[in-house]
Amino acid sequence: MNVLSFEKTKITRRSKEDKIFDIINYVLIAVILILVIYPLYFIIIASISDPNMIHQGKVWFLPKEVTFEGYKRIFNDPKIWIGYKNSIIYTLVGTLVNISCTLTAAYALSRKDLYGKRIIMSFFLFTMFFSGGLIPTYLIVKNLGLLNTMWALILPKAVAVWNLIVAKTYFETTIPNELLESAKIDGCSDAKFFWKIVLPLSKPIVAVMVLFYAVGHWNSYFDALIYLNNEKLYPLQLILRNILIQNEASTQMIGDLDSLAAKQRVSELIKYGVIIVASIPLLIAYPFVQKYFVKGVMIGGIKG
């Protein structure tokens, strides 16, 4: 009885420690969650609140004096829709180019019969640590005649070396050599083997690469800032940057207002609203594709 009582007391003590540990974890997770979510939530309520209430510190958890004037002016501005169209085109075309180049290169480098693959891979790895810099890259893009074209945002970054390594690791650990040998016995060529067998078996890594590249293209603005001078080619993120930093909203969206106070008021609404408008596609898509991001990290970490 004494032994059973001791074991029961020991188990109870451990259970209390586990509960305390769980409580600490939940508190820390809740604090981190609040720190991450609240800024985004504040932008949402600030975009429909009276800016005077925001400056007075009265907007914390609920919007005050709700107004949708900022969103009305945003959606009436043609540059926002042009930016949306351009970003969608750049994302779709850029991701297609990225996937085509990355997967074909990764599969070739994963083949054991590729002569000199270590040397080729070393050239790829070299670019991860050393680059030519902004000016040489700009001169190359200029000499290729890519300035003020969408290809200036796509071709210079057609392959991300880290993604190439992840895809190569996946092919090496997932596609057995015996499968290739049996396919060759049946008269299958290398190209047909890649399209008919490798790609259908590689749907997880294809999904991961699509997500990584698509998010990168959608959020990118620096390349457009460097290589584009035509406003009709600007992506949405560059238009957002101009509104937030250069305060271009004062001339594009609020030119019909005479009062300086009214212009400043609407300008604040527009700044918050544009952030939400630009983030909506990713906010909608991320909950559905989160598992692929996790899988992508696991693919790169296992047997890498």
pLDDT of residue 154 exceeding 60, the answer is: yes
Tens of pLDDT, residue by residue over 94-142, are: 999 999 999 999 988 888 888 888 898 888 888 888 877 888 889 999 9
Q: Among 57-66, 70-79, 205-214, 285-294, which is the least confidently predicted range? A: 285-294
Strands (E), the chain: none
Tens of pLDDT, residue by residue over 51-83, are: 777 777 777 788 888 778 778 888 887 888 888
Section 9-14 average pLDDT:
52
Q: How many angstroms separate the CA atoms of 95 and 209, rounded?
A: 9
pLDDT value for 295: 63
